[in-house]
Copies of this chain bind each other. A is one copy, B any other.
């Protein structure tokens, strides 16, 4: 347990205990990833002096580690969507994102995101972010070509497709391979460096917030070169310090089911200090139990023609969903094993290219043989495959509604991959909880009143992304950059309101 006497996130400093201010700025930003960078640019462009404090020795955060697809659309379509022949409606985007967020969706925030998403595309293009006007046809987790647009979620899968017209919204940077993240952060960093009103302090740790006698946030304590410095932020502090996936204790406390995942995704700074600093001044944390957890079973896209079963030999999901939805659904099942059943032909594709890394659990010249090899109760997998193959032949998945394009009868010989989390397959995860904020980025308390002078964006806040069950690639960087931009503007304009 940390001593209360140390400067820690959970103990804000009182302004009256501040001997003198070591620095002064309008807007102080904690963290220089996608959210912090966009917040700084937007705040500077709104006329504020900005100081960014970044723990690492360079900008980047988790955005730079990602492929940086950005989920955008609506309003008739972005330039790329339109050029590729897709006319995206705000309502379809909103309906999809509300379903994606699940029962704890923030309707106001989601609507604001969708209504202003095309403008956000234009804003990013204005910063110099390049997107090619080309559509990537293949089902993929990330685009390894330089194509500008692809389907990145469950838009075409049941039940989403029933309630929102599918449209691709994953915007991929004009660069080969998965280098979108580094390129994106280079462009953002160049924009930051070009703006004289922004200073950046690297290798600088934010320790705790500073509050006045009315409990408004008026600054932040930082540590740089082994010195604690008091930074006065006249317009406010924006927390863009990432999530808490690298804080084992917090993950165990808030989202312990993620610990069955094999690999936390994030940067070393994702230790939850931003969230804790906000909580310590009255900010409410929400959705802390939710996380993204995934079984990246495609590519190859042909895997989609396989079926997933539990230890009862039963299917339980349409296999054309986003890989995060499969991960989320697996977590909810009471089953000790999960298998992906494919034909030998599909297994050949899988052997050539796969992120999943699942091991072969069994093979069978006949279904009965595979059933026995997997230790399933006699007759269960036989029945599952009988129904599935009948449905494939008839062109309709009567039980789980996998789209017709993937309905090819599964022919023997068959291969079963063990996709049980913890048994070899690659099961990455990250957290989705954070500080509750208004669409403006203002952090709110348990009664949803703003904590004066405090803003949060990116993974430190709980944004439009709330579940793995409805995730699409590009939602995180989309939310980080969008929420960062809005928080930057809001903070910059605070004292003129």
Q: Considering the complex, give the chain B residue whose CB is closest to the CB of A451.
A: B10
Specify which chain B residues have a CB less than 8 angstroms from the CB of A317 in the assembled complex: 334
- Interface centre among A379, A436, A445, by most chain B C-beta atoms within 10 angstroms, is A445
Q: Which of A39-47, A116-124, A230-238, A284-292 contacts B (4 or more CB under 8 A)?
A: A284-292
Q: Are B448 and A1 in contact (CB under 8 A)?
A: yes
If A285-B285, A286-B254 touch, whether A9 touches B334 (CB-CB below 8 Å) is no
Q: Which of A55-63, A69-77, A273-281 contacts B (4 or more CB under 8 A)?
A: A273-281
Specify which chain B residues have a CB less than 8 angstroms from the CB of A280 in the assembled complex: 282, 445-446
Chain A, interface size: which category? 35 or more
Q: Considering the complex, give the chain B residue whose CB is closest to the CB of A159.
A: B334
Specify which chain B residues have a CB less than 8 angstroms from the CB of A312 in the assembled complex: 314, 399
Specify which chain B residues have a CB less than 8 angstroms from the CB of A497 in the assembled complex: none
A194 to B73: give the CA distance in the assembly, Å. 69
In the complex, whether A199 has a CB less than 8 A from a CB of chain B is no
Copies of this chain assembled into the complex: 2
In the complex, whether A377 has a CB less than 8 A from a CB of chain B is yes
If A256-B103, A289-B289 touch, whether A8 touches B447 (CB-CB below 8 Å) is yes
Q: Are A286 and B449 in contact (CB under 8 A)?
A: no
Q: Mark A318-336, 1 if CB is under 8 A from B, else 0.
A: 0000000000010011100
Within 8 A of B (CB), among A287-307: 287-290
Q: Are A9 and B447 in contact (CB under 8 A)?
A: yes
In the complex, whether A353 has a CB less than 8 A from a CB of chain B is no
Q: Considering the complex, give the chain B residue whose CB is closest to the CB of A386.
A: B379
> Could you say which of B257, B285, B289, B446 contacts A275, with CB atoms under 8 Å apart?
B446
Specify which chain B residues have a CB less than 8 angstroms from the CB of A191 in the assembled complex: none
Specify which chain B residues have a CB less than 8 angstroms from the CB of A290 in the assembled complex: 289
Within 8 A of B (CB), among A9-63: 9-11, 14
In the complex, whether A387 has a CB less than 8 A from a CB of chain B is yes
In the complex, whether A383 has a CB less than 8 A from a CB of chain B is yes
Specify which chain B residues have a CB less than 8 angstroms from the CB of A399 in the assembled complex: 312, 377, 380
> Could you say which of B213, B215, B253, B449 contacts A1, with CB atoms under 8 Å apart?
B449
If A279-B282, A377-B398, A387-B380 touch, whether A253 touches B104 (CB-CB below 8 Å) is yes
Q: A10-B447, A104-B254, A379-B386 are in contact. List 11 more A-B contacts (CB 8 A).
A: A1-B449, A2-B447, A10-B446, A14-B213, A275-B446, A280-B446, A289-B290, A317-B334, A377-B399, A380-B399, A383-B383
Across the A-B interface, give the 8 residue pairs with the lowest CB-CB distance, nearest first. Answer: A103-B256, A332-B332, A276-B446, A10-B445, A10-B447, A289-B289, A383-B383, A279-B446
16 contacts across the A-B interface (CB closer than 8 A) = A1-B447, A1-B448, A4-B449, A102-B256, A103-B259, A254-B286, A272-B446, A276-B446, A279-B279, A280-B445, A284-B285, A287-B289, A288-B289, A314-B314, A329-B334, A332-B332
